[in-house]
Amino acid sequence: MKVCFVSFEYPPNILGGMGTYAEHLVKGLNERGVDTNVITRGDKTCRDGKTYRIAIPDILYWRRFFFINRAINLVQSLNRFHKFDLIHLNGTYPITRRFRIPTVCTLHAPPNLKQIKMAFQLRKFNSVNDITYLLLKNPIGALCDFATAKASDKIICPSPRLMEDILSYRRFFDGNDKISVIPNGIDLRELDSAKGFDDSLLANHGIEKESFLLYMGRLSFVKGVDYLIKAFKKVQKKHPHLKLVIVGRGDSESYLRNIARNSKGIIFFGYVDSLRVKKLLLKTSLALVLPSPVYEVFPTVILEAMGCSKPVIATNVGGNPYIITHGENGFLSRPKDSEDLAKLINVLCENRTLRVEMGMRGRKLVETEFSFDRMVNQTLETYESLLDERSLCYEH
């Protein structure tokens, strides 16, 4: 099978879960003998083996428009030689021309019209970038949703909740026979084989093992890190030696630093792209906390924490309840409720046995339900079903 994988994010240009998904899926397809060519963006237009990088103008919110139009031209050019069986789009794009090749798309977020509604539910914007995100990025994103859905023969989404949200916009999406729910998966072999601990890294940041909570993700107003900071301040009154390590970058960083400025024990770690460092922080943390106030699709970082045998506290929104069973492998907190979040953090702080048991259950769940191999195999099944359908159409 010959596949052309089109992704705005791909190593080393990874912004979030979409890029990590691309990296893992392409690796798995190659391991299974799929001839995979990747088209992605880059600092300059070049070819690196079977990866083609396209240089584009760095204009916020319009980068995908420049990227996809050049990507379509490149797909058509490469197809004359490779004769691709299908195209896989990772994410949504403002597509103006059809590929004329069987097309699969993976959606990683709810339709942008729903995101606008969710942003208004928060009723707080901490910067000009937040307002721009709402008024410019999301309307453009809505056009991308529509264009990509119409150009795709099959849609992959990681959770049943996201499928429900997609189908609620029936003008954009044709029906549930077009959608496959394939949960994200992580490569436990890669996570387990990452190099060992470097205790000096913890010492340099004044961190000790199992003495800190961990947040890992974008620093955006839609991620609710401010609720975690407020909860941490409450918990610290009872556990003064506990620390909060915030890993990531984003438009809300200055705002978050400002509300944390009078609190000792809150450490802004910066962005981490090293698997070794990520594993170190996850393995040595007390727990991962994900305080998203209105939505999460299917966070890979939760799977990574569970893969490292750590409990997770996340809000009861989006795809989180499909991963976390409250009281079994973690806790589900009420969204936008710092008091409830603080209460659950205190429970984990005071019960190491519970933390260990939750971590063991989480690890077992990832091994059986959310493995890298399962995600890749189910994606291949989606490819094959699409090609079989196309074959039957041609026969008739």
CA distance 36 to 34: 6
Cα–Cα nearest to 3, from 98, 106, 78: 78
Given a cut of 70, whether residue 156 has pLDDT beyond it is yes
Report the 3 state secondary structure along the chain: CEEEEEECCECCECCCHHHHHHHHHHHHHHHCCCEEEEEEEECCCEEECCEEEEECCCCCCCHHHHHHHHHHHHHHHHHHHHCCCEEEEECCCCCCCCCCCCEEEECCCCCHHHHHHHHHHHCCCCCHHHHHHHHHHHHHHHHHHHHHHHHCCEEEECCHHHHHHHHCCCCCCCCHHHEEECCCCECHHHHHHCCCCCHHHHHHCCCCCCCEEEEECCCCHHHCHHHHHHHHHHHHHHCCCCEEEEECCCCCHHHHHHHHCCCCCEEEEECCCCHHHHHHHHHHCCEEEECCCCCCCCCHHHHHHHHCCCCEEEECCCCHHHCCCECCCEEEECCCCHHHHHHHHHHHHCCHHHHHHHHHHHHHHHHHHCEHHHHHHHHHHHHHHHHHHHHHHHHC
Mean of pLDDT over the chain:
86
Task: Decide which of 22 and 275 is more confident.
Answer: 22
In this prediction, residue 190 has a pLDDT band, given cuts at 50, 70 and 90, of confident
- pLDDT for 172: 59
Q: How confident is the model at residue 111 (pLDDT cuts 50, 70, 90)?
A: low
* Range with the largest mean pLDDT of 18-22, 176-180, 322-326: 322-326
pLDDT tens digit sequence for 336-386: 999 999 999 999 999 999 999 999 999 999 999 999 999 999 999 999 999
Torsion of CA 284, 287, 293, 298, to 10 degrees: 80
pLDDT of residue 197: 62
* pTM given for the model: 0.85
The predicted structure's pLDDT at residue 110: 67
According to DSSP, the residues that pair with 186 across neighbouring strands are 371
Q: Determine the Cα–Cα distance for residues 114 and 93; give it in Å rounded to an integer.
A: 17
Per the CB < 8 A criterion, the answer to whether 268 and 246 are in contact is yes
116-130, 241-255, 281-295, 315-329: least confident range: 116-130
User: Residue 41: is its pLDDT beyond 80?
Assistant: yes
Residue range 286-315, pLDDT digits in tens: 999 999 988 888 899 999 999 999 999 999
pLDDT at site 371: 92
68-80 pLDDT, tens digit each: 889 999 999 999 9
Q: What percent of the chain has pLDDT over 90?
A: 56
Full set of structural domains in the chain with CATH: 2-185+371-395 (3.40.50.2000), 189-369 (3.40.50.2000)
Task: Say if residues 158 and 182 touch (Cβ distance below 8 Å).
Answer: yes
